[in-house]
Chain A
Amino acid sequence: MERRSKITPILLLAPAILIFVFIFVAPFIYLIFQSFWHYETSYVSKQVFTLENYIKLFSDPYYWRIYWRTFRLSVISTLITMILAYPISRMISRMPPGKKGLVTTLIALPMIGGGMIQAMGWMTMMMPYGAINGILLSLGIIKEKMTFLGTETGILIGLVQSFIPLMSLPLIASLGAIDPTLEDASKSLGASPLRTFFEIILPLSIPGAVSGMVLTFMANLTMYVTPSILGQGKIQVFGSFVYQQAISVGNWPFSSAFSLFFLLIMGVTAFLSSWITKSIQKSIYKGNEA
Chain B
Amino acid sequence: MKEKILRISFLVICWAIILYILLPIIVLIVNSFNKSKFFEFPPTGFSLQWFEKFLVNKEYQASLLVSVKIAAVSAFSGILIGTPAAYAIKRYNFKGSNLLQTFFLSPLMLPSVVWALGLIQYMNVVRIGNASILGTFFGLISAHTVIILPYVIRMVMTSLSYMDKDLESASLSLGANPIKTFFGITFPLISPGVLVGAVFGFMVSFTDVVVTSFIGGSKYITFPVRMYSEIRSEGLDPLAVAVSAIIIIILVIVSFICEKTIQWSRYI
Contacts and interface: CB of A to CB of B under 8 A. Distances in A.
Interface stretch (B49-57, B58-66, B187-195, B240-248): B240-248
B40 A129 contact: yes
A9 B101 CA distance: 13
Interface of B: 3, 6, 10-11, 13-14, 17-18, 20-28, 31, 38-42, 80-82, 84-85, 87-89, 91-92, 94, 100, 103-104, 106-115, 117-125, 142-143, 145-146, 149, 153, 165, 168-169, 172, 178, 200, 203, 206-210, 213-214, 224, 227-228, 231-232, 236, 240-241, 244, 247-248, 251-252, 255-256, 258-259, 263-266, 268
Given A12-B88, A134-B42, A113 B169 contact: no
A228 B232 CA distance: 8
Interface in A86-137: 87-88, 91, 100-110, 112-125, 127, 129-131, 133-135
A28 B115 contact: yes
B111 to A, nearest CB: 4
Nearest to A87: B14
A116 B259 contact: no
A105 B259 contact: yes
A9 B92 contact: yes
A118 B207 CA distance: 11
B232 A229 contact: yes
Q: Which 6 pairs of residues, A with B, have the shortest CB-CB distance?
A: A121-B24, A114-B207, A27-B118, A134-B41, A222-B111, A16-B85
Contacts of B85: 12-13, 15-17
Contact of A120 (B21, B111, B240): B240
B208 A114 contact: yes
Contact of B263 (A9, A101, A133, A222): A101
Contacts of A260: 114
A15 B256 contact: no
A18 to B, nearest CB: 9
A247 B104 contact: no
B31 to A, nearest CB: 5
Nearest to A108: B268
A3 B6 contact: no
A268 interface: no
Nearest to B36: A129
A105 B266 CA distance: 10
A129 B89 CA distance: 54
B110 to A, nearest CB: 8
Contact of A247 (B209, B214, B266): B214
Contacts of A130: 39-41
Given A13-B85, A91-B10, A134-B41, A222 B112 contact: yes
B14 A88 contact: yes
A51 interface: no
A37 B106 CA distance: 27
Interface residues of A, number: 88
B228 A131 contact: no
Contact of A117 (B20, B82, B87, B244): B244
A43 B209 contact: no
A239 B228 CA distance: 14
B18 A9 contact: no
Given A12-B84, A161-B23, A19 B247 contact: no
Interface class of chain A by DSSP: helix
Contacts of B123: 27
Interface string A217-255: 010011011001100010000110011001100001001
A30 B118 CA distance: 6
Given A105-B259, A224-B113, A24 B146 contact: yes
Given A129-B38, A262-B114, 8 more contacts: A3-B92, A114-B209, A118-B24, A118-B25, A125-B24, A215-B109, A228-B228, A247-B213
B145 to A, nearest CB: 6
Nearest to B225: A116
Given A23-B146, A161-B24, A225 B210 contact: yes
A31 B255 contact: no
A252 B121 contact: yes
B35 to A, nearest CB: 14
A16 B153 contact: yes
B255 A16 contact: no
Contacts of B153: 16
Contacts of A53: none
Contacts of B120: 246, 252
A75 interface: no
A161 B27 contact: no
B165 A105 contact: no
B119 to A, nearest CB: 4
A82 interface: no
Which of A31, A158, A169, A256 lies at the interface centre, i.e. has the most chain B CB atoms within 10 A of its CB? Answer: A31
B251 to A, nearest CB: 6
B115 A127 contact: no
A263 B18 contact: no
A271 interface: no
Given A120-B240, A229-B228, A127 B111 contact: no
B231 A120 contact: yes
